[in-house]
Amino acid sequence: MASRARLVIGICVGLMGAGVLPLAAANLVPEGNRNAEQPPIPGVSAKRTKSAQTTYDAKYGKVYQLLKNDSGLVSKIRTISTRYQIDPVHVVGAIVGEHTYNVDAYDRLQTYYVKAISYLKSDFSFSHGGESVGQFIKRSEFAECEKEKGSYELWSCREAVWDKSFRGKSVDGTEWPNDRFGAVFFQPFYAGQTFGIGQLNPLTALKMTDMVHKVSGFRRINHDNPQEVYQTIMDPDKSLAYVAATVKKSISAYKRIADFDISGNPGITATLYNLGNPEARASRLAAENRIRRAKGQRIKFPEENYYGWLVNDKLDELKALFHDS
């Protein structure tokens, strides 16, 4: 018996030395909503819906019918989700949330392809006050970001520099808007505008371009060619890959930073798709839970916002889309 115990200990020590002992599993976030009632919907969403003389239920019904009636679209979502190793209901949740609380879905998928082509012929730039974003990020404040190698890390760094050094501040005699980096430089038609079936904004697409290039093989997009950026996020075949990549990044961030596995809760991934900055949000949650543990309190689980709450509330319907596809 003693020799057997020594053998087991020896194996464990050997595995530890080799660095192959499995880490403790992340806390699994179960399906369903943590909030009994839907959290408040922002006023801008209510205003947009009212001005269009429609309702949230009508908008949800419209995008759901688009998905239900287009088996080809559902098949694309399934295939792309498999490639990014996520459940396809996460991608559907992002699409449904955006078109319920942002803009109406088009009646036919073909309309998105037509719109994608039109942007290649449009004349616009990523700029603010006559300064292109390419010129802007050459300022000394952004020098620290040049060490970043990946598109996600690079543009996340630049976004953080914007928030720290420019947002709402006066710099070199210029008053900079107190608004998101993506809204100021990357939405030349009007702030808050997003595009395509995934309602992506260009900055998010620029962040995800390396992952999409690696997994899907699409050509990387660049801030110096805004027409191609917009065409990419309007083209469903490409846009769906960017949606899947964005969801995948959120799942990875919460597991790595906050020790939560959110891959089984589409309402949480939809919430992060809506809010953005998953690393910062995961870091805040991790910090809060360190304090809770130190006090002997239960850890706090991720919670859905109004957008993610709808996705979890409609989860059975959304899953049913894939039963026969």
pLDDT of residue 262: 98
Q: Judge whether 304 and 270 are in contact, CB under 8 Å.
A: yes
Element (H, E) at 174: strand 174-175
pTM of the model: 0.86
pLDDT of residue 139: 97
pLDDT of residue 24: 61
Element (H, E) at 313: helix 306-313
d(CA 182, CA 205): 11
d(CA 31, CA 40): 21
pLDDT of residue 106: 53
d(CA 237, CA 251): 22
Amino acid, res. 164: K
Between the alpha carbon of residue 182 and those of residues 111, 161, 223, the distances in Å are 25, 13, 12
Amino acid, res. 239: S
pLDDT of residue 90: 98
d(CA 82, CA 43): 36
pLDDT of residue 15: 40
What averages of pLDDT result for each successive group of 10 residues across the chain (325 residues)? 43 41 74 95 85 88 92 94 98 94 62 58 82 96 96 97 97 93 81 67 95 97 92 88 97 97 98 94 97 97 97 97 78
Q: What does DSSP assign to residue 196?
A: T
Between the alpha carbon of residue 134 and those of residues 84, 190, 216, 316, the distances in Å are 30, 19, 26, 45
pLDDT of residue 197: 80
